[in-house]
Amino acid sequence: MALAKVYVNYKKSILNPEAEAVHKALKRLGYDNVEDVKLGKYFELTVADGKSKDELDKEINEICDKLLANYNMENYHYEIEETEAAQ
Amino acid sequence: MKFAVLAFPGSNCEMDLYNAIKDIIKEDVELVSYKKNTLEGFDAVLIPGGFSYGDYLRSGAIARFSPIIPDLQEFAKSGKPVLGICNGFQILTEAGLLPGSLQKNVSAKFICKTEPLVVNNNHSMFSSEYQEGQMINLPIAHGDGNYYCDQDTLRELIANDQIVFKYDSNPNGSIDNIAGIINKQGNVLGMMPHPERAVEAVLGSDDGKGVFQSIVNHIKSRGVIYE
């Protein structure tokens, strides 16, 4: 089995009012050294065996483009980890 | 002529649309489930507001892969009118039928109130009942209504006269005050305000009637009436 960890976040040009609210709350708590907050999405996809590394890479890329991220306002990156087969 | 009103899990404006067409515009209308895969026999398709799939992932992102969507794309390609309101607009951008996308309101708040709009283009099949520059009042009710596109797309929208409705005083941060746009072909309109909630005086305004009446006039003038 493999585990794909997908990180989706807003592009720089996109306003992120939720992250701004979190940033303001941190300031109120006294964490003045926090200069910026990003708030995005994180997915873990557990994938069955049967595809080569390249095929899996292609598939995860396709999944991100099609559904997990909106290229108009979001960027993504991912890591694929080999995990032990389920017993 | 016959309207289809699509209904997805989590849609909540489909009956408002249905009643607006049936009782006020007095044309045939039918609710069509997201599970169906044909739009045969319909002259226009309306996509209602609401929170399809709970707005999970992104507004409209999951509804966009419903069984009805390939047929909707074909329907749009054929040049017949498609109108998406609120969540319907979000579904149309996710489905690639309209450019850009709808982000969170700048205030990070859900906004529910009547907004003054300016009719920016009155020669579309959705706005011919209005005067250019006319001010109309329509309700808005959204958390993700802040229209965004890149500068190249915006230039194209302006050059092709695709911006149909603009906010008079921008409530949500939309680029260029955009409240509603059409595709290049001119037969797909997405708008955040709710014309179906403003079709008779008792609702506070009947300024929304013109959108539906424009569609009817367009279809009847083309003589594409299916009995």
Does some domain include residue B65? yes
Q: Which of A14, A20, A68 sits opposite B103 (nearest CB)?
A: A14
Which residues are within 8 A (CB) of A80 and not within 5 positions of it... i.e. 6 or more apart? A2, A3, A4, A5, A53, A56, A57, A60
Cβ contact (<8 Å) for A72 and B101? yes
| CB-based burial label for B126 (10 Å; 0-12, 13-18, 19+) | buried
| pLDDT confidence of residue B70 | 97
Cβ–Cβ < 8 Å for B12, B50: yes
Confirm or reject contact between B2 and chain A (CB < 8 A): no
Give the closest-approach CA distance of A24 to chain B in angstroms.
13
Cβ–Cβ < 8 Å for B153, B139: no
Task: Flag whether pLDDT at B67 surpasses 60.
Answer: yes
Q: What residues make up the domain containing B27?
A: 2-222
Q: Which of B61, B108, B149 sits opposite A18 (nearest CB)?
A: B108
pLDDT, tens digit, 9 for 90 and up, residues B130-167: 999 999 999 999 999 999 999 999 999 999 999 999 99
pLDDT, tens digit, 9 for 90 and up, residues B175-214: 999 999 999 999 999 999 999 999 999 999 999 999 999 9
pTM, full prediction:
0.93
| pLDDT confidence of residue A13 | 83
Domains in chain B, number: 1
Cβ contact (<8 Å) for B57 and A17? no
Could you give the 3-state DSSP secondary structure of residue B12? coil
Domain extents in chain A: 2-82
- End-to-end Cα, chain A, rounded Å: 11
> Can you give the CATH number for the domain in which B57 is found?
3.40.50.880
Give the closest-approach CA distance of A79 to chain B in angstroms.
20
Could you give the 3-state DSSP secondary structure of residue A43? strand
pLDDT, tens digit, 9 for 90 and up, residues A24-80: 999 999 999 999 999 999 999 999 999 999 999 999 999 999 999 999 999 999 999
Residues 47-76 of B with CB under 8 A from A: 57-58, 61, 65
**Top CATH class, A2-82:** alpha beta
Q: Which of A15, A68, A72 sits opposite B100 (nearest CB)?
A: A72
Does some domain include residue B227? no
C-beta neighbour count of B155 within 10 angstroms: 11
